[in-house]
Amino acid sequence: MANVAVVGAQWGDEGKGKIVDWLSQRADVVVRFQGGHNAGHTLVIGNVEYRLSLLPSGVVRPDKLSIIGNGVVIDPWALLQEIEQMREKGITVTPDNLKIAENATLILPSHAQIDRAREAAQGEKKIGTTGRGIGPAYEDKVGRRAIRLCDLADPASLSEKLDQLLLHHNALLRALGAPEVERTPLFQALLKIAPQVLPFADTVWQRLDEARRAGKRILFEGAQGVMLDVDHGTYPYVTSSNTHPGTAASGAGMGPGAVGYVLGITKAYTTRVGSGPFPTELRDAIGEQLGARGKEFGVVTGRKRRCGWFDAVMVRQAVKVAGITGIALTKLDVLDGLPELKVCTAYRWRGELLHHLPASAAVQAELEPVYETVEGWSESTRGARSWAQLNAFAIKYIRRIEELIEAPVALFSTSPERDDTVLVRDPFED
């Protein structure tokens, strides 16, 4: 049996939440290993929709242990708000079924202030962050000045660390012409929230080691996508963490051998939210149709997503870079009714044919997609739960994608509903 890491194979928003939820029925432990509450996962179970940002998707299954690893940056106020929202929908989250790494970095209100001030200063050249402070929090973590969850248990030490942190934060805010942070209210807010979040703190690496030794199945849940990885994505229009599945081990407190099967999630078309290059973007009626039918609005921000044809070059690169074993293809039903589909098989740049996504942002901005046209289908694929319920052209489309990205389809999804999923190969048994 293999532990499974689930990562996005595009620019995020690929439908990881539903796939992780569906796979979690086969897992014992679900671990979120990077990102912050800038990520958003939507789960539809029956007539109830759950929107998760920080909480692992496993929380909707009462018999699973959910873990937020040390690789995640945590806004404690956002976390408690999300737990309360889940409670209102009948899902109980307690220290018994949710454990948070004691060494996880905290996001403070000042991080969000810096994030928004920097974006405003960039004007039209802004990165397109969610303004929730994720980037600045990761900067503080690397800069060794971050406040971590365990620090809330020691008010004296917390006070000293907050002084050092605000020395840096207020210098940045002054330079950006933004209001500075008042220390006392922030310190009091941290003291107030400490007893509410500390019960969730745990020695997560030890919990996971015990689970591994007991032969339990571990499901690692990533946020965003490989093409938003701070090293391998479309830099600088990326997130502030490594979305690569290698982070699943380090972001949870396990060795590199902990991850077995890497499942890459990809839509049957392509979307992107925020700024950055997008070679296959459609700025026409078809793009609008994909966005409307796919309900392409950010879970966290509500921002409209940009839509385009499937980019096989980009996904193939993600497969190679991230060591993706197989993919989960989502939102196939959104393509229903289109007479023809296009798939990007290469890029053209200044007369040269390219079969990879170059690292240079300047080159990325000038790429022109080279398309292969594939026949569409008029029959509905929505709700299909087996190959037999798909028409021949939909199957042909899936098979062509497999060839172009050089990875097999392990499962595919035909609606937001939990059970409208077709398992081709079980990642836990592969």
Q: Which residue has the tokens 């339990």?
A: 216
What mean pLDDT is predicted for residues 245-273?
95
Split at pLDDT 50, 70, 90, the class of 331 is very high
What mean pLDDT is predicted for residues 107-129?
85
What mean pLDDT is predicted for residues 113-142?
86
- Cα 46 to chain centroid distance, Å, stands at 23
Split at pLDDT 50, 70, 90, the class of 301 is low
Q: At what angle do helices 183-197 and 109-122 cross, to 10 degrees?
A: 120
The pLDDT value given to residue 173 = 94
pLDDT digits (tens, 9 = 90+) for 339-356: 999 999 999 999 999 999
CB 321 within 8 A of CB 244: yes
CB 23 within 8 A of CB 6: yes
The pLDDT value given to residue 84 = 95
The verdict on whether 333 is a catalytic residue reads: no
- Closest of 45, 106, 101 to residue 73, by C-alpha: 106
What mean pLDDT is predicted for residues 104-133?
86
The pLDDT value given to residue 226 = 97
Annotated catalytic residue: which of 21, 28, 37, 41?
Answer: 41
Question: Distances in Å between the alpha carbon of 290 and those of 18, 160, 270, 317?
Answer: 19, 52, 9, 24
pTM attached to this predicted model: 0.92
Split at pLDDT 50, 70, 90, the class of 417 is confident
Angle at Cα 40 formed by Cα 36 and Cα 45, nearest 5°?
135
Split at pLDDT 50, 70, 90, the class of 299 is low
Q: Are strands 368-375 and 340-349 parallel, antiparallel or unpaired?
A: antiparallel
The pLDDT value given to residue 208 = 97
Residue 252 neighbours by CB under 8 Å, 6+ apart? 31, 33, 67, 69, 70, 71, 101, 204, 205, 208, 220, 258
Split at pLDDT 50, 70, 90, the class of 1 is low
The pLDDT value given to residue 298 = 67
Helices (H), 16-98: 16-24, 76-88
Q: What percent of the chain has pLDDT over 90?
A: 77
Residue 49 neighbours by CB under 8 Å, 6+ apart? 42, 43
The pLDDT value given to residue 122 = 81
Query: Which DSSP symbol is given to 45?
Result: E
What mean pLDDT is predicted for residues 224-235?
96
Residue 300 neighbours by CB under 8 Å, 6+ apart? 37, 38, 39, 40, 53, 130, 132
- Closest of 344, 335, 330, 325 to residue 265, by C-alpha: 330
pLDDT digits (tens, 9 = 90+) for 40-92: 777 777 778 888 889 998 888 888 999 999 999 999 999 999 999 999 999 99
The overall average pLDDT reported for the chain is: 93
The pLDDT value given to residue 58 = 85
The verdict on whether 232 is a catalytic residue reads: no
pLDDT digits (tens, 9 = 90+) for 368-388: 999 999 999 999 999 988 888
